[in-house]
Chain A
Amino acid sequence: MFRFVLLFLLAALPLKAEEIVADLSQSSVGISATFDGSNILIFGAISRDAPAPTSEPLQVIISVAGPSKPVTVRLKEKKVGIWVNSDSVLIDEAPSFYSVATTAPLIEILTDDEDRFHKVSIDRAINSMSAQIQSSGHARDFVEALIRIRTDNGLYQVHEGAVELMSDTLFRTSIDLPSNLTAGEYTARILITRDQRVVDMFETKLDIQKVGIERWLYNLAHDNAVYYGLMSLFIAIAAGWLASAVFSYFRP
């Protein structure tokens, strides 16, 4: 309810010529025991206090980003006949999940400067500053490897042209959340551009959390590791005893 009120308030404020009003199909996603991926619908409209300028077409960029964490990328090399991890580069911050959907190829609708400032493309969303300082030159390969691996795992997605825009006003897209998702606070962001410049930006939180037994077990394992360990042993011993009791009962 509160969000709807907020939406109307935002729509009513005449700050800019064109303004985004948007929402998500759900504000939270629960990772339950049977979680097998999900998808989220992001939709909205552009409110105007004057007729739309006709010069350059309006473009929409929608991104969903997972929590950013440092990542170590390791390179395997052949040593004494076997492939072992040798070189590694620490990347300061990389989102655990990143999906960007647009109305047209990103390169045509956003300048490089704007991309750098708003961190829109996957490349810009990853912060590899200190990695580039640490290792001269080949840090680029490690960043590319990170993007490639996460893209293969469905964690980094680029969907150019996947945002539907109707009469320059209504837009929507749907973003797939894969089953190997990590929990955390996600951010959904909508940018509108004209002439490759950002006109307005809208940001909202998307809470992705383990729920039910998944959440309980994960928290117990991390916060009360001793109890979790004892519980695991108890379950194991009980199961072992039960199995032997059941089968010796059936055995003549």
Chain B
Amino acid sequence: MQIYLPIAEMSVNAFLLLGLGGMVGILSGMFGVGGGFLMTPLLFFIGIPPAVAVATEANQIVASSFSGVLAHFKRKTVDFKMGTVLLVGGLIGAYLGIQLFNHLRSLGQVDLLVKLSYVVFLGIIGSLMFVESLNAIRRAKKTGTAAKRKKHNWIHNLPLKMKFRASGLYISVIPPFVIGIFVGVLAAIMGVGGGFVMVPAMIYLIGMPTKVVIGTSLFQIIFVTAFTTMMHATTNFTVDIVLAVLLLVGGVIGAQIGTRIGVKMKAEQLRILLAILVLAVCGKLALDLLLQPGELYSLGNSGGH
């Protein structure tokens, strides 16, 4: 069934979008990742203009994060104070990101910015995950030697310290603030929640306890992506609600199925699969940039959409 997207101004197969949403939803449920970093490039591949894909995906992430954070509210695993510091940074970062996005859009370079960011981040994350899960499998075979984390580092010597009760931390607000800014920029230009950067940063850099990490990052993501959605909707007019609804219907159902599959499968093998998938998407995007395109010319609307 073809459906006409009012903002993207193109006709696409509704079942294809539901299927994509469902597939990415299953993966995000299985691995506990947001899925924005897979969905946005997939939207490029089916021909959605990158500007529309990024803005619409931000809107969809609001839905999936909200769905996820409710469970964490109930279990009281959200550090609101830490979340607020991350959020203030995130809003500033998102604002800066949107400015950069709009500037490059006017220069006709936004596709390049978005695709390059994806190649870099998917490349880094994919390789790290791949190595990490290979090591985990090796460790599991040897048994015993669990890696230990260093507790004290330069981060603990920074000024402006604050107490974060829910996390049991007394640290400077600078690191979470800076992490927030960084994630905000990513949300604005890549259409991702940024959980894949924030979660490791919270664990390894800030030293937050694992049980509050996911809830707190979801809390931050909701507001940052909501802000990003509003910014894109009011400055670029690129949020396609019909596209968002189709993706999120598939996404929420997929996520619930994925969670159940995830419980039954071995974590290390799953992670390797995800790593390979991330690297494949990265490779496809990189090839598009590296190989000579079939059509060297492209058309752009002048004077807005």
A232 to B299, CA, bound (A): 29
> Is the pair A75, B242 in contact by a Cβ cutoff of 8 Å?
no
Chain B nearest CB, measured from A174 CB (Å) = 20
A222 to B237, CA, bound (A): 6
Q: Is residue B244 within 8 Å, beta carbon to beta carbon, of the partner chain? A: yes
Given contacts A72-B302, A74-B297, A244-B71, contact A232 B292 (CB under 8 A): no
Chain A nearest CB, measured from B196 CB (Å) = 19
**In the complex, number of A-B residue pairs with CB atoms less than 8 Å apart:** 180
Please, which residues of chain B bring their CB within 8 A of the CB of A35? 2, 4, 11
A239 to B252, CA, bound (A): 8
> Is the pair A78, B241 in contact by a Cβ cutoff of 8 Å?
no
Q: Is residue B45 within 8 Å, beta carbon to beta carbon, of the partner chain? A: no
Please, which residues of chain A bring their CB within 8 A of the CB of B253? 243
Given contacts A229-B229, A236-B244, A243-B252, contact A74 B6 (CB under 8 A): no
Majority secondary structure, A binding face: helix
Please, which residues of chain A bring their CB within 8 A of the CB of B297? 73-76, 141-142, 145-146, 148-149
Q: Is residue B197 within 8 Å, beta carbon to beta carbon, of the partner chain? A: no
Q: Is residue A187 within 8 Å, beta carbon to beta carbon, of the partner chain? A: no
Q: Is residue B3 within 8 Å, beta carbon to beta carbon, of the partner chain? A: yes
Please, which residues of chain A bring their CB within 8 A of the CB of B226? 233
Majority secondary structure, B binding face: helix
Given contacts A179-B4, A221-B6, A244-B70, contact A71 B233 (CB under 8 A): no
Chain A interface, number of residues (Cβ within 8 angstroms): 61
> Is the pair A236, B248 in contact by a Cβ cutoff of 8 Å?
yes
- CB closest chain-A residue, reference B1: A34
> Is the pair A229, B233 in contact by a Cβ cutoff of 8 Å?
yes
CB pairs A–B below 8 angstroms (29 shown): A34-B3, A35-B2, A71-B301, A71-B302, A72-B300, A73-B298, A74-B297, A76-B293, A82-B116, A83-B289, A88-B300, A145-B296, A149-B295, A150-B299, A152-B295, A179-B4, A226-B234, A228-B239, A229-B239, A232-B59, A235-B244, A236-B59, A236-B248, A237-B63, A239-B67, A239-B248, A240-B248, A241-B70, A243-B252
The 7 closest A-B pairs by CB, nearest first: A240-B66, A229-B233, A145-B297, A243-B252, A179-B11, A240-B67, A236-B63
User: Known contacts A75-B296, A82-B112, A240-B62; can you find 12 more A-B pairs with CB under 8 A?
Assistant: A81-B290, A141-B297, A150-B299, A214-B6, A228-B239, A230-B230, A233-B229, A236-B66, A239-B248, A240-B63, A240-B70, A241-B70
